[in-house]
Amino acid sequence: MSYRVCLVCMGNICRSPMAEVVLRRTLEERGLGGRVVVESAGTGGWHAGDPMDERALGTLAEHGYDGAAHRARQFTEDWFDRYDLVLAMDRDNVANLRRLAPTGVEVRLFRSFDPGAPDGAEVPDPYYGGREGFEEVLTMLETASEGVAKHIADEIG
């Protein structure tokens, strides 16, 4: 039985697929890859079926990650039963997910697992900016992924 994680942003072409690729590698490096399924989705469906944003893909590739297989998907209410952990990139997506979530389901911010981040820290949306925003996002994702991996390791023993 696998532990299942879904990482969520708005359109599933920038932040959450980058987080998926980064977290998957972090878990592999800690020997947890075979025990954890990492996926991503967006709260909006307008990019469903699209590949990752080229700037996100390029930033990942420059740092040795491969996100070429990604295709955007939309998170739907029935998905909560599939996942042990649902993490959103920002407060707007936390709110969107909580509106869909059954009572008692916890949705957290991805950066809440970064011990150096302030309370309520978000992963900013780099979509409307330049390439430097994607670099900044990658750094945040790598740092928070360490904390997420530790949390998952504690959860699954």
Could you count the other beta carbons within 10 Å of the beta carbon of residue 127? 16
Q: Is 119 a catalytic residue?
A: no
Q: Match 């869909």 to its residue by tokens.
A: 100
Report pLDDT digits (tens) over 62-90: 999 999 999 999 999 999 999 999 999 99
Q: Is 25 a catalytic residue?
A: no
β-pair type (36-42, 85-88): unpaired
Q: What is the pTM of this model?
A: 0.97
Which token pair is 44?
Answer: 């909006």
The Cα–Cα gap between 108 and 7 comes to 10
Residue 157 — pLDDT band, cuts 50, 70, 90? confident
CATH number of the domain located at residue range(s) 3-151 in this protein: 3.40.50.2300
Sequential DSSP letters for 60-106: HHHTT---TT----B--GGGGGG-SEEEESSHHHHHHHHHHSPTT--
Q: Is 9 a catalytic residue?
A: yes
Active-site residue among 6, 9, 53, 90? 9
Active-site residue among 14, 15, 25, 53? 15
Residue 104 — pLDDT band, cuts 50, 70, 90? confident
